[in-house]
Amino acid sequence: MSVINSISPMMGASGGAAASPGFLGDIEGVSLDTNIICCLDAGAEDSYDGSSQDWLDLTETNIDWWRGTNDGAAANDPAFNGTSGNESSSEYFSFDGGDWLTVKTQPAEFQPWHKDNAAFTAVFWIFIPTGGMNNSRFISDCTSNAASTGFKFGTEGSGTLDDFFCQCLDSTTSPPMTGTSSETAHVTENAWNMIAVSIDEAAGAGGSFFYKRAGASSTIDAFNATYATPSAGSATFDMHIGADGGTGSPVVSGTRMAGVFLFSTNLSQANLDSIYTATNRSFV
């Protein structure tokens, strides 16, 4: 992935294309960019210029996002912190308990997430505030109502539990899949974490997992992501980051996000460890 969001790649000294900017270049450096469909980087000027209403995808897929709900400034816009282009641990978006990101146009790449044979990975560099992430959604194109269709990943725990949770919905009262953590991989509070969910629907028991790393080593919780009677239809809502598809369950006040990486394949723990090392801007 060398072409970034409507910007031609710069030429390197040898005449070839230079590395992509920011986190995308880091992921290219560990050869894990083949299946990346979205890369958001709060520190890269090509992804966020410091003042715009939109946060731009660095990949060729161009899955761009509004701060808040649309192109108009509003109270639900995450606030930018830092200096555009610095690419340090000081560049991030902060959330106040009622903020989120909304995809500009729901892309075809998200529709397989709630369907048979789903295979994808969602990765976040996120700061977890003291007090935990009770009932917060990291990414979702459905609601907490079972009568919607889509996928959601977040937390259902309270206080210091911070247990990961994901669910596939098919507009019935019996969700095709619910995955929960066993408290092995739950987040570290008052710290930056790289967290992820890796889904391989066809793999069955133990084939999917939650991931968390906030230091020397990572932890995972494996679960069975088999979708029973999944929907073949479209998601009910456009994808949101930081809230569910209907903007319920927003991430708690004090949350920060520096990067979001979405892949159209199920990455392994070793893959995610490589991404952690490559993209860690002294967060931890």
The contacts found for 69-73 with CB under 8 angstroms, 24 or more apart, are: 69/100, 69/102, 69/247, 70/102
Q: Round the average pLDDT of the chain to a whole number and report it.
A: 90
Residue 228 three-state SS: coil
Q: How far apart are CA 123 and CA 184, in angstroms?
A: 18
Mean pLDDT over residues 83-87, rounded?
A: 97
194-218 pLDDT, tens digit each: 999 999 999 999 999 999 999 999 9
pLDDT at residue 10, as a whole number? 38
Strand order across the beta sheet in which 136-140 lies? 54-55, 65-67, 101-103, 240-241, 136-140, 149-155, 164-170, 177-180
Q: How far apart are CA 37 and CA 229, in angstroms?
A: 26
Q: Which two tokens stand for residue 264?
A: 């159209």
Q: How confident is the model at residue 35 (pLDDT cuts 50, 70, 90)?
A: very high
Q: How far apart are CA 79 and CA 121, in angstroms?
A: 26
pTM, entire model = 0.92
The contacts of residue 8 (CB under 8 Å, 6+ apart) are none
146-156 pLDDT, tens digit each: 679 999 999 87
pLDDT at residue 181, as a whole number? 78
Q: How far apart are CA 185 and CA 132, in angstroms?
A: 14
